[in-house]
Every structure is written in C-alpha cells, then in structure tokens.
Amino acid sequence: MPRIELIERGPLSPSASYLAFRAPYRHEAGQYVALSAKVDGEVQRRYYSIASPPRADGRIEFCIRHGGGFGRHLSQLAPGQTVDSSRPAGNMRLLDAARGAVYFAAGTGVSPIRAILFAHLDRNPEADATLLLGARSASDLLFHDEFRALADRHPGLRVLPTVSGSEPSWPGLRGRVTAHMAEALRGRTGLDAYFCGPPRMVADLRERLARAGIPDSRQCFERY
C-alpha cells in the first residue's frame, strides 16, 4: 500500500484543517483515496477526496473536518509523519474544459470541487464558471479567500458564497447552495454541473438540475 508523507498543514476554519502530503502516485482531479491509520488502538480506514489538481511534484492536498476520531487523528499529524493510502479512485472528473460549468460545494464537499475547478481554469483560463460555496457560518466557508483571488485572475469565474446559519452580520446570500441554483444557472442549459456534499443535497440537486435542463450525462457528483 502506498504511503504519503505530510509536508504542510494549517487551519482552514474552526472545524477543518488543510493538509498537504507528498504522494508516490498520480491522480485525476476529482478522485479520492482511502486513508488508513491506527486510531484509538485499532486500524481504521476513511475516504478523502483529494482537494488539489495533479501536480508535477506529487503534492496532494486535503481538506479535513475534525469531527470524529479519524479526522482528529489526521489534523494532529506532524510534518514528516506518514499515512497509508489506497491508490486514487472515483468517477468525479473534469468532463469538458471547453464547456461552461456550475459548481456546488457544501462543507468539506468543497474538496473535489476545488480540484476540478482548478483543473478547469488551468486548461481553459477563460472558462465560464460559477461556484456556489455553502457553509453554516462565514468562518466555515472553506477556501473562500482563495476562490475570490482565483476569480480576480479569471474574469469568467463567479463565486457565490452562501451561509445557512443565522448570522446577522453576513451581508451575502443566505440558505443552502440548492436555494441559489437559479441564480447560478441564469436560465442557461448548456453547462456541466459538478457537486459534492451530503446525500440529501446531492439527491436534491440531481433532480432540480434535470428539471432545469441539465441532463444526468452533464452532472458529475460525489456524496459523503
């Protein structure tokens, strides 16, 4: 089983960390791996999407929620420590860099979305892309500053953050990402849709996107 070595880590939000490893394998943007480690005395295995596009130096990045035992274990690793990893797998991938796209990311579901969005803009810097980024609170909007900086460099990218908790000082969109689908699509049907989040969000989006004229074949998703 391949081993990946932690090279950098840092906070992303009050409940999630950013971790970068050096990996001995290549992946496609959107894929995930199964990581294994001894946690609380027994070997455990959890799936994590790689949050970065493929890089020549083998660096892979993750966005990890601290939530339970495995998430806490990962977020406490020190640089130089290793974790067992499966080879990358999964069906999420960039469908067509030439086409416009809408991206929906909720919580740590941002991981494969970030990887694919970066790959998309790398291959087509002028791409028409809209990202709906959702979280409970503004401080939980993962990679928000980075996505804003990306939009400054790519005029075709529109970033729409939305907050679902009650936060009186938040000046932007409110509610879940699904509530703003019409604003993301603006009546267009010739787009690809990428989304990742909890099963209910995924089921809801699949149905709503199909009704809005984006067929299954143009939808690419993962549920956590």
Ligand X SMILES: Cc1cc2nc3c(=O)[nH]c(=O)nc-3n(C[C@H](O)[C@H](O)[C@H](O)COP(=O)(O)OP(=O)(O)OC[C@H]3O[C@@H](n4cnc5c(N)ncnc54)[C@H](O)[C@@H]3O)c2cc1C
3-state secondary structure (DSSP) of residue 217: helix
Nearer to ligand X, 60 or 150 (CB): 60
Say whether residue 198 binds ligand X (CB under 6 A): no
69 binds ligand X (CB under 6 A): yes
Stretch near ligand X under the rule CB under 6 A, chosen from 63-71, 143-151, 155-163, 200-208: 63-71
Sheet holding 101-106, edge to edge: 173-174, 157-163, 129-135, 101-106, 192-197, 219-223
Q: Does 18 bind ligand X (CB under 6 A)?
A: no
Select from 57-65, 94-102, 114-122, 163-171 the region that touches ligand X (CB under 6 A): 57-65
Quick one: which of 15, 18, 28, 70 contacts ligand X (CB under 6 A)?
70
Contact between 108 and ligand X per CB under 6 A: yes
155 φ/ψ sector (left φ>0, alpha ψ -120 to 50, else beta): alpha
Nearer to ligand X, 64 or 201 (CB): 64
Find the helix or strand (DSSP H, E) in which 37 lies. strand 32-39
| Pair of tokens at residue 85 | 């990893």
Interaction between residue 170 and ligand X (CB under 6 A): no
Paired residues of 163 in beta bridges:
135, 174
Q: Does 136 bind ligand X (CB under 6 A)?
A: no
List 22, 46, 93, 188, residue binding ligand X (CB under 6 A): 46
Q: Is 33 in the site for ligand X (CB under 6 A)?
A: no
- Identity of the residue, 90 or 100, whose beta carbon is nearer to ligand X in the bound complex: 90
Q: Which of 154, 149, 159 is nearest to 121 (CA)?
A: 154
Is residue 32 part of the contact set for ligand X (CB under 6 A)?
A: yes
Instruction: Report the b/e string of 59-75 with b at 16+ CB within 10 A.
Output: ebbbbbbbeeebbebbb
Q: Which two tokens stand for residue 128?
A: 């028409």
Element (H, E) at 9: strand 3-13
Specify the residue, 109 or 173, whose C-beta has the smaller distance to ligand X: 109
Output 49 or 178, the one with its CB closest to ligand X: 49
Q: Does 64 bind ligand X (CB under 6 A)?
A: yes
Q: In whole angstroms, how close is the CB of 100 to ligand X at the nearest point?
A: 25
Report the interface residues with ligand X, using CB under 6 A: 32, 46-49, 62-65, 67-71, 108, 111, 222, 224
